[in-house]
Every structure is written in structure tokens, then in C-alpha cells.
Structure 1
């Protein structure tokens, strides 16, 4: 018996090593094939080098659970400081996905009605809200609902400072919010819509937006280093963005929330959020299904400029659509929902194949980040469905495109 016991003690470390290797090293793709951690590392480092990307956070979920979480490169290239999983990153429009989930929680708590015109929630006439003062002479805004804001069908521009119909618009210092088409009739990406939604949510609840996010999303999901404003406990582990001129872009520590774009988070925290969502936490199944149900089909040739007459059927095979806070598509592996996050020094992407339980989250601190999304998605999880042309995710070298 003593010999058997000694043999078992010798075998335990062997099995533990094998189990740890399997957990850390074998990631399942959509088609059921596997990829090892070394191959992931090699692929990521090669692509980052080619696109001149300083830092990146990467997470992959299998069976709706995190199986891979790692950072690469620098949070501050000039200072030689390495990025880690708790470094604060600018989430950009990942903010809208979190806002969408927050709204579904408010719906379940009977605080928000998706189809009730938002003007019923406002405490003041629309013209008394500075951002929307020019709508005083356009009654169409009274038709706008939370559902329209979340599905990008309000008719508002993306950012009032830029002409939403121009391919390369100039900055307009006198930018005003206008309605460009009948609300509810077509898709056109709009950050300004989320500003109206935020005003309504704050008026309904009497709470600042960031406080709502902490209460309904960040705290339940265990996101302790995330906020729409800067929290005192974030410390100094802050990643720095790098723009097209190679210059550093240090995000200011916001004191006022912007529902559609001010969120900061970490790759670790945002992975917690995605895991929370795909595992059906926080909201009932029926509410989740409504969140990722197609609200509007998308036929535009590109996502930006957001308001254009040009159409295409190139994405018909995936039934490209928008839900409530998320882009949607259908694939041979079932439903998928996705969200981008982007500005001139940060590029982020997340897609969730909910019926296969596979997700990927990519966060970069470089304007060149989107140049590697197509290859990362294909090589790491076998995603050949993301509409990369529509999103403008042209790889390095595609038709002469290269890092600036």
C-alpha cells in the first residue's frame, strides 16, 4: 500500500502539469480545431510588429468561460513600460455595449420602456438641453425611443462636429445635432443618440450615468477597474494611446460621463463583462434574446460615413443587422454579436459566437490596431465572417495600405 501511495504522489504532479497545459495551451476555434498558446503568441507578435502596434490585450472564451487572457507589448512605448492585464485602457465605443446591457437591466426593473418616446422621461423641454437646442424646430425628435438610440436608427449624426454624409469630413467648431432622416427608418451609427439616451436615463433615475453603470453593471460583473469617469482607486497603471503620427495620446481623467464613449477599463475587466453577459447573468433569457434580436438590417456599404445613400448586398450572407447596443450577424455556427471601440489612438474589437460559446476580445493602444483584426480573428478563432470591409478593418498591405 505504501508503494502504491508513493506512486500516486509521483503521478499527481504529472497530471497537474498536463491539466494546466491543456487549460492554458489548447484553445478551441469555431470549427472545433485547436490552437496552442505558443502559436497564439507567435501570431500576435508577428502581426503587432508588422502593423507597428505598441501594446495589445487579448482574451478568448471557450464554452462561455475565459480560457486565455494575456497582454503584449507596451502601455507606454517611449517609457518602456509593459502593458499588463490590469492596465487602464480607453474603451471608446465599447461604452455603448455596456450602456446597452445597462438599459436591458433597467427594462427588467421596469424603470425604462424601450418604446416609450424619450421626451416623456425628460424633465425639461429639449431646447433647454444645450446639446439638443437646435431641435426646437424639428418635431421628429419626439418620436425617438431608447430602442432607436440603441439600434442606431434615430437619424442623428455620429458626432455633431463632423458632417455624417462626408467621407472625410472637416471639423465643425459650431457643430449642432440635426436629424438627417425619419427616425426608425434606417441604420446610421450615432454617438449623439447615446447622449440623448443618457440624459433620459439620468432624468428618470436622478442618478449620474456612471453611478448607474457601477450599480447595474460594473459591481455585479466584478469590474473594479472600470468607469465612465475616472475613479480614485484606479491608481497610475494607465496605458497611453499612439496616434497616426506616432505621437502619444494621454486620455484625460474624465469627471463627466459620456454614455457612448468615455468608459475606461482593463482587458481583465472587460473580459469579466463579456463572460457575465454570455453566461446569461444579470438579465433573463428573454431579455437577453431581445438585446441580440435584429432590430434593423444593414445595407450600407461602410459603417463610416454613417449616413450615406450607397448600399450593398455584400453582407446579406451574414444578415448583418443591429440589435440593442450590439452589431449582429448569422453564421454557420449560429448567432454572433459584436462591438467595436475606436478613436484616433485606440482600436478595440469584441465578437461573441453565442451558440458556440466562443468569444474574443482585442484591445490595442494604437490607431493601427484594426489593421490586424482580420488576421487575428481568422487565425485565432476561425472567424471569417466579421464584415471587415464594412468596418474598415483593412489589413496591413491590403491594396497598398500600410501603417502611417
Structure 2
């Protein structure tokens, strides 16, 4: 059994043995103590947690180290890698453009681009396949493009459609990048500047950017892989709508407070951003192309669906939506309960933080039925 599978199994066992009533919601010093104990048990180098409740940031703290080698503490204003949580903010920005009538979620991207997609340098692989014309902003944001997660995962590292756009769910960074091209080439927008103005500045996020800033270097979180291997923070110079956001847990609390409240959006656009868009029935999330045509009844039972923000599902007491972010040294997860008006934000500069997400989520939100079995493939074989 792989190390990561063993750790996830231990995490689930801990959840089962310390189950809390659904109504119990831990915060403050009590939550800090539990988080620190869980981190010690699973050797998590550093992570940060925020809670938003009824429009207020009610908990904000950072734990452990941003750099273990120099014993530098992780703080609430430490720069952390946002990873794919970036996509939720990008979708929020797109919905502002929808409100303004500048883009329609259901129009073909061909109606926006000044020339066919395959004529752009990064998309010549799609020449001769007219299915690109079936792509729409909604299809791209809900990961139904038919493109691989990232082209370098293909054996020949070439881009291709694995199914007709819109027919299936298969998580795809490539699809988000196509929509970025549409905004930049079709609407003439600077995506980095629009994200800054429409999201980061709007919510007072003074230490968040889609590109590297030199002032980030003084208080920066490096990364740690599952086996503890050190990975220096990647200084991302290029704007990538799928995941280039550098941020802090304090800024993320501000962002999710504002987005949950729908600030800057019409009520209809805010509802659309978090609404179920397409059912997810696959056995697991990754690897996306390998599993796009599989079925697991657990997804149907919870009405697990793709949303513009990420995923949404029915839990035992609420309707939830969520967005995660992950690479080999980063683990981030946000879970929001619509009726309770409560969001849990967890960011880890150590990917081992993911091993304790189930327990922290239960401590803060009670039983949510979050699809850990689907989001983290290591869980599936050990439930």
C-alpha cells in the first residue's frame, strides 16, 4: 500500500472514531488545538485555516512552518500558492462579464475569437477537428471540453478531443486556458488586470496576485511533498486562469466572504456561479481522461454536480459547494454550506494537509458528505 493511501486511511479512521454531532461547530482556541494535534500526528509542515460565518470572518489562523529548513513560521499574511482555487475566482470574474453582457455562457467561442482557435499557435493540434466550435464558456468552466487535464499528460503531448464537448465531465486545465484565450483575443481583456480589479481589489486582497510580485519574497511559503521533500515556491511570471494565483489565508477569507455574498454580481449571476450545471458520476476525479466514462452511484446519491465555482452536492443538512487546489506539494480546499452561510477555507504548503481535511471539515461544518472518495483517489479503495 502506498504511503499516501496509508495516511488517508488513518485520517478516515480518525474521522469515524471522533465523529461530532452535525450541529457542533468548532472555532477559536479549541479548533486551533485540534488542528495542531492533527498536524503533529500526520507530520504536516504548515497549513492555514479560515472560517466565514454569515458574512463575518470568525476564525483565521496559520500553523506550523512556511520553511522548515530555516524554522520560519507560517503566518496569516504568508504568501501561499492558490493552485486551482484560482479557477473559482476566475469564474467569478467571468460572471461579472456575463452580467455586463460582454460574454454569454452558452455562445460558441467561435463567435468571440477573431480567427479559428486552431490558427492560434498553442492550438494548431486541433486543426481539422471542428468540434472546437462546440465549446462555450459554460462547457469550459464546467470541465466538459473533452480535452485532457494538461496536454503534457498525453503520450505524444499533443492536444486532442477525447469526446464531443459537453457530453461528459473530465477536469481540464486546458479548457480553462481556452477560455482565457477567448477573453484575451476575443474581448481584448488583460485577464491578470481584470482579476486584480474585479476580484482582488474589490475584496481588499492586498497580498494576492495572478503574477509574482517582488514584495512577496520576504514572507513566502515553500512547499513540501508527501514524503517531506522540500519544493521552493514557484515564482509564476505568467497569468494562468487555471492556477497562477499567489495569496494568503487572510486574503482568501476576504475573497470567499465577498464571493459567497455575491458582491459585484447580480443575484442571478451569484446563484448561477454556485448552481449545479452537469451531473458528475465518474468513479474518481483524476486521472480525468481515464475515468471520464465511468460511473459511481455515490455521485448520483448526493447529486454531485459540476458548478462554475467547482463542485456542488446535497449533504445531510445543506447544499454545499466546493473548490480545491492541489499539486505535489500543495493542498487547498474550500467547502461552503449555502443555507448555513458558512465556509471553511484550508490551505496547506504541505500536501500532507489533505490527509487531515476530512477531520477538520467535520470539526467545523459537521457531516457534509464531501466527496473525498472522488476528489482524492487514494481514498476510494479504503472506504
Kept in 2, the 8 Å contact 1:30–1:333? The answer is no
**Which residue number in structure 2 is paired with residue 241 of structure 1?**
223
**1:326 Cα deviation after fit:** 1.8
Q: Does residue 1:229 correspond to 2:211, yes or no?
A: yes
Kept in 1, the 8 Å contact 2:315–2:368? The answer is no
**1:66 Cα deviation after fit:** 0.9
* CA RMSD, 1 decimal: 1.9
Equivalence map 1:9-88=2 (5 Å): 31-88=22-79
User: Which of 293, 300, 309 in structure 2 is aligned with 1:316?
Assistant: 300
Higher RCO (CA-CA < 8 Å; seq separation 6+): 2
**1:384 Cα deviation after fit:** 3.5
User: Which of 163, 169, 185 in structure 2 is aligned with 1:181?
Assistant: 163
**1:34 Cα deviation after fit:** 4.2
Kept in 2, the 8 Å contact 1:374–1:394? The answer is no
Paired with 1:110 and 1:285, the residues of 2 have a C-alpha distance of: 15
**1:77 Cα deviation after fit:** 0.8
Paired with 1:60 and 1:157, the residues of 2 have a C-alpha distance of: 34
Runs (5+) with no aligned partner, structure 1: 1-28, 164-171
Paired with 2:372 and 2:209, the residues of 1 have a C-alpha distance of: 29
**Which residue number in structure 1 is paired with residue 244 of structure 2?**
262
**Which residue number in structure 2 is paired with residue 96 of structure 1?**
87
User: Which of 389, 394, 404 in structure 1 is aligned with 2:373?
Assistant: 389
**Which residue number in structure 2 is paired with residue 167 of structure 1?**
none
User: Which of 289, 303, 325 in structure 1 is aligned with 2:309?
Assistant: 325
Task: Give deviations 1:286-314, integer Å, cap 9, x for gaps.
Answer: 11111122110010010111122321111
**Which residue number in structure 2 is paired with residue 277 of structure 1?**
259
- CA 1:187–1:34 in structure 2 vs 1: closer, same or farther (change >3 Å)? closer
Kept in 2, the 8 Å contact 1:388–1:394? The answer is no
Paired with 2:135 and 2:212, the residues of 1 have a C-alpha distance of: 30
Specify the SS of the correspondent of 1:315: helix
Q: Does residue 1:295 correspond to 2:277, yes or no?
A: yes
**1:125 Cα deviation after fit:** 2.8
* Higher mean C-alpha deviation, range 376-385 or range 348-357: 376-385
**1:329 Cα deviation after fit:** 0.8
Task: Give deviations 1:142-181, integer Å, cap 9, x for gaps.
Answer: 1100000111111111111114xxxxxxxx5x51211100
Paired with 2:83 and 2:25, the residues of 1 have a C-alpha distance of: 31
Runs (5+) with no aligned partner, structure 2: 1-19
Kept in 1, the 8 Å contact 2:337–2:343? The answer is yes
Larger Rg belongs to: 1
**Which residue number in structure 1 is paired with residue 16 of structure 2?**
none
TM-score (norm 1): 0.85
Task: Give deviations 1:41-91, integer Å, cap 9, x for gaps.
Answer: 221112111221111110012223210000000000111000101110001
Task: Give deviations 1:197-244, integer Å, cap 9, x for gaps.
Answer: 000111234232111101211111111111111134434211000123
Specify the SS of the correspondent of 1:282: coil
Paired with 2:160 and 2:193, the residues of 1 have a C-alpha distance of: 29
Task: Give deviations 1:295-348, integer Å, cap 9, x for gaps.
Answer: 100100101111223211112232100111321112233321100000010000
Specify the SS of the correspondent of 2:202: helix
- How many equivalent pairs are there? 361
Task: Give deviations 1:93-119, integer Å, cap 9, x for gaps.
Answer: 001101110100111111111111112
TM-score (norm 2): 0.90
